[in-house]
Amino acid sequence: MKKKPYLIEFPKIGDSSIGFISVVEFEKLLPFRPERVYWTYYTPESIVRGRHAHHNTEQVLIAVSGTILVHIETIEGELYSYKLEKPSQGIYIPPMAWHTMQYSHTAVQLIIASSKYDEADYIRSYDAFCSLKNNI
């Protein structure tokens, strides 16, 4: 059975009078050891980013600010859609999952990844992804 996408609820420490801290620790809520963190911002609302899958990389995607619409198609053909709008939530994106993201103007997206950047880990052609899908 392949790994599936899922929503992660991070602990939210504090209250509205003093503000909040959210935290994620490997092995508690993070299902992999992080090797890389990156973030994206100032993406125009009309732009759809992603449009790829990873052979091996696992990721958790967090909207630390603004709203992010995330669509995921697994290699088994299951479709998932999420609207991330709370900084205390994240989406786990497994390997071999085609994903796209669309951002509100104020969105800042934080990504925790299980591997260092390697272009060879990307499947950027949807046709290539579908052929792999047909072979499972």
- Among 52, 54, 55, 99, the active-site one is 52
Cβ neighbours of 83 (radius 10 Å): 11
Closest approach of ligand T46 to the CB of residue 53, in Å: 9
Strands (E), 1-136: 6-9, 12-15, 19-22, 36-41, 48-54, 59-65, 68-74, 79-84, 89-93, 97-103, 108-113, 122-123
Q: By CB under 6 A, name the binding residues for ligand T46.
A: 38, 40, 49-50, 59, 61, 101, 111, 117
Residue sitting closest to ligand T46 (CB) = 117
Closest approach of ligand T46 to the CB of residue 117, in Å: 3
SS3 of residue 118 by DSSP: coil
Judge residue 118's burial from the number of C-beta atoms within 10 Å of its C-beta, 0-12 exposed, 13-18 middle, 19 or more buried.
Answer: exposed
Q: Which is nearer to ligand T46, 34 or 50 (CB)?
A: 50
Closest approach of ligand T46 to the CB of residue 111, in Å: 5
Active site annotation includes 52: yes
Q: Which is nearer to ligand T46, 50 or 87 (CB)?
A: 50
List, by residue number, the catalytic residues.
Answer: 52
